[in-house]
Every structure is written in structure tokens, then in C-alpha cells.
Structure 1
Amino acid sequence: MKPLINDSRLEKQRWVVFLLACLILVCAGANYAWSVFAQPLAQHLKGDIGDIAFAFSLASCCSPVAMLIAGWVSDHFGPKPMIILGGLMMGGAFVGCSYASDALTVIVVYGVVFGLGMGATFSSTTGNVLKFFPDRSGFISGLAMAAYGASSVIIPPVAMYLLTRWGVQHAFFILGVAFIVIVVAGGVFSTRCPAGFVPRGFVPKKAVDGHILSLNTFEMMKTKRFWFMWGMGVCGALAGMMAISYAAMIAQFQMRYEPAACAMVVSVVAIGNMSGRFIAGVLSDYIGRVPTLFLAQLLNFLGMLLLWSCGPGDNGLFVIAVVSLGLAFGAYMGVYPSLTTEEFGPAHNSANYGMMVVGFSSTAMIGPYIMNICYSRYGEFSQAYMIGLGITFLGFLFGYFLKRALSQKA
């Protein structure tokens, strides 16, 4: 066991690392802006928008693979190499898309290269910054995840301006160069948190045998609480992902909104998602991680129930529904990094959280699939909402067993 380190210089420097992490995470969240590029890129390539949209799904699938690998590298050798490599891959993918001549190139360059770069950057950045802040992990986790979620608010208008002013090729190129500069510079100036660092006055959580808690990914997966956390996370994120992925279609076909109002609904969900990350992270420092997740699950239940019951004219209920689901989804994203670090130790938290994200990433495929199947078969989303309510109830069960497991430290 490494000796504990308390260094006043590091206590000040960790805030610089945190600010750099927020800038890096805003860039890493550029995947949220893909819908802005999809239609113009399909028109430019004279291809099918479905093929272009597939690049987004592929990037979401490749990201957790990179998180696991980069998380392990970052835990053992520091985050700098993985952040720099991830920045080069993300920016390079955008630059590559600016030269793409067909949809297949976009799928490979964006779906694979950007997806891997995004995962490597995200895992290395969040893992390192959480090691610096064991004393306020909920606050830092929530704020860092809010920065990541802020991409859905910041990058789309920037992308729209570039698309309108210079066209799709130049927009990709300019953003790609910007990502390389920001992320690589952030990686170069990021400091690795030394093993054993503790802020003044903080007492690290200990395992049953009295040693500092430190489980690697394989050890973590042998515990009951990991699987209950994983299950609750999937169930909690799935309801939100169903609403987020189809927010515009729900607004258009169920609520009969005009296109401008549909776009506004997407923005409202995005702001709810971003806000939920920070609010839940801070709240979890005061009432606990699991109680905060139970509150998020109540919001999921409320949101799904209101979506099931509302129709044209029920504008107030609809707004409450989508805001509730956005907040709940953000809450899970904001709490889980700190919960993972708290329960399994900081030493391997980059790789450990990468494994947790595998579950969250699966919802990016499952949620839209459920919505698409139900709408294709029945011409409405009511059945999807009932499935969402069932999944939410299952999330409560996972939460109950998680609470028991944490009290027993299985």
C-alpha cells in the first residue's frame, strides 16, 4: 500500500487540471452535435442519411471499448498519452470527414476513429480528475459531466454557423483543427494525480480489512454491488435515452408541434440533461449517491407516465415529462463516476468506470430500437412508454438490492 500524500501545491494545481478537463470534455462531447451534420453531409455526399446516422451509433459502440483500454493505460502510466492520442484521433476524424467522398469513409473515419478517440479522451480525463478530488467527488463529477453534456448546447450552434457560412467540408475541417489544438494542449498541461494523494483533512474510505479500498476491474466484477450498480445504471439511463433519441419525433407526431417547436424540445431535453449532471452530483455529496439515484428513478417514472398520458394540447405535462427524463438521464451520468470511485477505490477508477459505461452505451442502441419498433408496428409510442415504465420499475429493484449490497459490502 502506497503512503498517503498531502501536498499543498497539488491542492492548488488540481483546480487547473479540473478546468483543463472541462475544456477537453466539451470537445469530447462533440458526438452530441452529429445530428446537425447528418443531413448536410448526406446531401454533400449524395448518400442515404441512414448511413450517415449509422456513424453516430458506431462511434457510441466504439467509445466504451477505448474507455476500457485507455482507462487501464491511464491508471498505470498517467492520462497524458491517452488524452493527446484521443485528441489527435477526434480532431483527425473531423478533418478526415471534410475530405470524405462517400458514406463508407465517414462511417469508418467518424464511427471508428472518432469513437475510439472520444472514449480514450473521456476515460483518461475523468478518471484522473476524480483522483484529485476524493473530498468532493460528487460536485466535481457532476460539474465535469455537465461540461461533457454542455457540448449538446455549445457545439450545435457553432456547427450551424460554420455550415451556413462555409459549408460542410470547411465546417468539419475547422472544428477538427480546433479539437486537436484544445485537447492536445489540455493533455500536455494536465498533471497526473500521484498515487496516494489525499487533500488536507480527507480520510480515505477503507475496505473491511482496514486497508485503503482499491479494486481493479476484474476484482470489481466479482462483487455483487457491481452488477447491481450496472443493472440500475442501464435501467436508469434507458428511459432517458428513449426520450432523448426520439424527442423531436415525439413532439412532432404525438404532440403535433411545428418543426421549430420540435427543435426547441430537443434543446430543452439537452439543457435538462446537462443540468441534471451537475445538480445530482452536488446533491449526492449531501444525501448520498444511491438516494440521489432513487430520486432520478422517480423522475424517470414520472416522465414516462406523463408521456404515456399526454397528447396534443397538454403542453405543460409534456414539458414536465421531457424535463424530468432529461434531468434523470443527466443524474445517472453525473453520479456514477463518483459512485464507482467511492465504492471501488481511485487507483483503477478510469478502467472501472469504463466498464460501467459499457452498460450506459448499450442504452444508445436499445432505447432507439424500442422506440422504432413500437412506432413502426403501432404508429404511436404508447407501448414504448409502457416498456419504459417496466424498465424503470426494474431499476428500482436493482437499486433496492444495491442498497442492501452496499450495507453488507459484498
Structure 2
Amino acid sequence: MDNDRNTEQQLTILGMTAEKGRWLLVLVGLLINICLGSIYAFSVFRKPLESFWNITSSQSGYPFMIFLAVFAVVMPLAGNWIARWGPKKTTMLGGMLVAIGWIAASFSPDIFTLTLLYGVIGGAGVGIVYGCPIAVIAKWFPQKSGLAIGLTVMGFGISALITAPLIKTMIGNPDIGIMNTFLYSGIAFGIIITLLARLLSFPPAEWAPAGPEATATAALPALNLSRQEMLKTSSFYALWATYTIGCLAGLMAIGIASPVGTEVARLDATTAALAVSLFAIFNGLGRPIFGVITDKLGPKHTAMLSFTLILAASLLMSLFGQDNAILYLITFCLLWMCLGGWLALAPTSTGIYFGKQYYAQNYGMVYTAYGAGAILGTLISGNIKDITGSYLDAFPIVAGLALLGIIIAAIGLNPVKRQ
């Protein structure tokens, strides 16, 4: 409680009321997420690692795959630690593991050791830290949280735009090289996350914004469900299922964006790479955009809007995507934006439906849908390409899942009724 009170006092000392000063915490969360989101820049390491150790392209992807898997598994565990230790100490612990994972990876003798050190330790660190800023922002913005959460997690989405060029420059520098790039990155991320973590605290229990904040969900009854209580509601399973479908479509689009650009849309490699940078911008912007929409329309209608966009994009790409560069750009901008949107929509919906008291534990469980979506999206796109010879044949499946998502959202995404 003293730490919470100190946070409110610090905001006042800076010459701002808590209502205005809490936006500084959004900036803190965004900066932390830029460090965490460097995993999206891992593709920059792959070719150099393949040459450095003479390994296959599949092997160079092991650290990325394991990192995301461990990230998703650790998130539910971290929710309990945030509730027990607070966001500051939990973020420091995770930041230390992020640093250790990157630094230890720099001493790896082979790709399998790198996978264990970077993928497992670094992935666990990100899994611990990721939920901390979100939980803090959710409590500082008890009603109008969509925009604030969206801006916070936007850092993860746009991270590759910032970290990839820096990492690529370090790898190409003969005085640094690929392994020292892991070392220096780990040191930098560890310092930045640890310093920013000191600013993270929940508001005092009795604190509330000075004025009412009108939202589509403001009139809903205030519920604070524990994780066990949440798991007994149909709303949780509807949210988990729709989140999985949203992530499946988006993460599949991330994984195949470059090869679809060159093999289907017939772009040259340089243009395809620039297109991926464009998609990353939409991925980042999708988070605050869908956060605002969730505030205004509520989770049900926002989810249905997202799936309608995914359905339209998938059908258009399936039917008219061959040799169509313009449609390729439009389709993948929409898919990447909707993925970013779900990473704001789902945490905002968790607070709306299940309350803020047990938010960290609850969103950790909801977030496992991200891991399920990542696995399913990768399996679908890879197997369809192997079977049919074209990535285009994956899009009708995504369209069908989007239609299923619309149905689930319409029927199941409802406020939990008080027992």
C-alpha cells in the first residue's frame, strides 16, 4: 500500500494530477514492451546463424519457436507472482531473466544451446514481464482502459521497427559480430527494464478517477472474479476461443508474409521486406485502434468487427491474390492490424468481464490462447503449403475460422451475470 501511495505522490510531485500522470505509466509500459518485442526481430539473426554454424533454416528457427512457446506457458504463472510480489519486483525478476537469456546465449557453442539459453530463459523472462505493465494500466484505468492498454502493448508490435535495424547494424559490424550482439542487447535490455520497473505500482485501493468516464461498458455491474470463478463462466471460454482464432490468423500472416509476397504476389525480395515493415506498423497501430473501439462498442461487437475484416481479407486473398501485389498489401495490413487489435481487445475484455482485482492471474490464463493460436497458425500454413504447394490454400481455412469466430462472439461474449 505504501508503494501504491508513493506512486500517486510521485505523479503529484511532477506537477500532474494522478488522472493525467497515469499516462506516464502508459509510456513506461510501451518502452518496456519495445524491449520485450525484440523477439519479433529474431529473423535478422537467422541467416547469420545459418552461416556461422552451417545449420539449416529449420534449425535457425528453433530459438524463436521455443521462445514464443515458453513465453505463453509462463504468462499464467506470472499472474500469481504479480499479485503476490507486486508489478515492480516481478518486472525486475523477469528483466533479469531476459538479460541472462540474451547474455548467456552469446556464449553458445551451437544452435541447441542457444535455443535453451535464449529460448527458455529469455522466453521465461518475457513471459514474466509482459503482463506487469498491462496489469498496472488496467488498474490505473478502471473504466476507459482500452486505449491505455492498446498504447502500452503497441510497443511490442512496433519493436521490430526499432530493434531490427539496430541488431542488423551490430551483426554487420566486424568489431561486434553476431554473438556479441546477443551480449550487448542483453545488457541493454536488462538495464532498461530494471530502471523502468521502479516506476510500476498499482494505484491505492481506494483511488478512482476524479470524474466519470463514459464507455459502452460503464453501466455493467462491477464483478471481481477469481481465476477459479472465471473458469466456471461461459464468457471465459468464448473469449479464449475467439482470442485463439484472432491470434491464429494474425500469427499465420506474420509467419508467411515474406514468402507469400515473393511466391504469390510476385514481389522482389527487397520490396517484400519493405512490405513486412509496413505490416509491422499496422500491427502496432491495431492495438490502440481496437482498444478505443472496445471502449466504445464493447468486446462483443469489436470482436465481430475484427473477424469480419479477417473474413473479408482471407476470402479476397484466396480468390484474387495470385499475382496481385496491391491486394496482398491490403490483405496483410488488415491481418496484421487485427492481430495487434486482439492483443488489446483481449486484455481489455478480461477486465470488463471479470474485474480488476484478480486481473493479473485472469489475463495470464486468457493469454494461453495466444500460444494455441501460434501453434495452430504455424501448423496450418506449413502443412497446407507442403500438401498443395501454395500458401493461398490456407486462406479459405482462415476465412472459415473467422466465420466461426463471429458466431462464437455473437453467442458467447456476454457480461458475466452476478450469481
TM-score normalised according to structure 2 size: 0.90
**8 Å Cα contact 1:235/1:392 also seen in 2:** yes
Match for 1:75 among 72, 75, 83? 83
- CA pair 65-407 structure 1, distance change in 2 beyond 3 A: closer
Match for 1:348 among 346, 358, 364? 358
**8 Å Cα contact 1:63/1:118 also seen in 2:** yes
The question of 1:155 aligning with 2:163 is answered yes
Where does residue 64 of structure 1 map in the other structure? 72
Match for 1:23 among 27, 31, 51? 31
**8 Å Cα contact 2:311/2:400 also seen in 1:** no
The question of 1:201 aligning with 2:211 is answered yes
Match for 1:119 among 122, 127, 135? 127
| Deviations 1:124-172, CA, capped at 9 Å, x for gaps | 2211221111132011011112112111221111111111123112211
Match for 2:148 among 140, 143, 152? 140
Shift of 1:356: 1.2
Aligned counterparts, 1:96-245, within 5 A: 96-165=104-173, 166-202=176-212, 212-245=222-255
Shift of 1:51: 2.2
Shift of 1:45: 2.7
Aligned counterparts, 1:225-374, within 5 A: 225-374=235-384
The question of 1:377 aligning with 2:390 is answered no
| Deviations 1:224-263, CA, capped at 9 Å, x for gaps | 1000111111112211222111011111111222111221
- Cα RMSD for the two superposed structures: 2.2
Gaps in structure 2 of 5+ consecutive residues: 13-17
Counterpart Cα distance in 2 of 1:326 and 1:273: 5
Shift of 1:205: 6.3
Counterpart Cα distance in 2 of 1:331 and 1:12: 25
Shift of 1:312: 4.6
Shift of 1:43: 2.1
Shift of 1:402: 2.2
Shift of 1:173: 1.3
- CA pair 128-226 structure 1, distance change in 2 beyond 3 A: same
> What is the letter of the counterpart of residue 226 of structure 2?
N
**8 Å Cα contact 1:138/1:285 also seen in 2:** yes
Counterpart Cα distance in 1 of 2:333 and 2:418: 35
The question of 1:52 aligning with 2:40 is answered no
Corresponding pairs, count: 402
> What is the letter of the counterpart of residue 264 of structure 1?
L
**8 Å Cα contact 2:106/2:180 also seen in 1:** yes
SS of equivalent to 1:135: coil
**8 Å Cα contact 2:310/2:335 also seen in 1:** yes
Where does residue 50 of structure 2 map in the other structure? 42
Shift of 1:178: 0.7
- CA pair 93-273 structure 1, distance change in 2 beyond 3 A: same
| Deviations 1:281-326, CA, capped at 9 Å, x for gaps | 1222222232222111111011111210234542222211111111
- Larger displacement relative to structure 2 (12-21 or 51-60): 12-21
Counterpart Cα distance in 2 of 1:75 and 1:202: 27
**8 Å Cα contact 2:76/2:367 also seen in 1:** no
- CA pair 409-361 structure 1, distance change in 2 beyond 3 A: farther
Q: Percent identity?
A: 28
Counterpart Cα distance in 1 of 2:77 and 2:399: 35
The question of 1:399 aligning with 2:403 is answered no
Counterpart Cα distance in 2 of 1:91 and 1:295: 39
Shift of 1:192: 3.1
Match for 1:33 among 29, 41, 63? 41
Counterpart Cα distance in 2 of 1:304 and 1:409: 39
**8 Å Cα contact 1:52/1:107 also seen in 2:** no
Counterpart Cα distance in 1 of 2:219 and 2:100: 43
SS of equivalent to 2:327: helix
Shift of 1:18: 2.3
| Deviations 1:315-358, CA, capped at 9 Å, x for gaps | 22221111111111111112111110111111111121111110
SS of equivalent to 1:136: coil
- CA pair 216-206 structure 1, distance change in 2 beyond 3 A: farther
| Deviations 1:18-37, CA, capped at 9 Å, x for gaps | 22211111111111111111
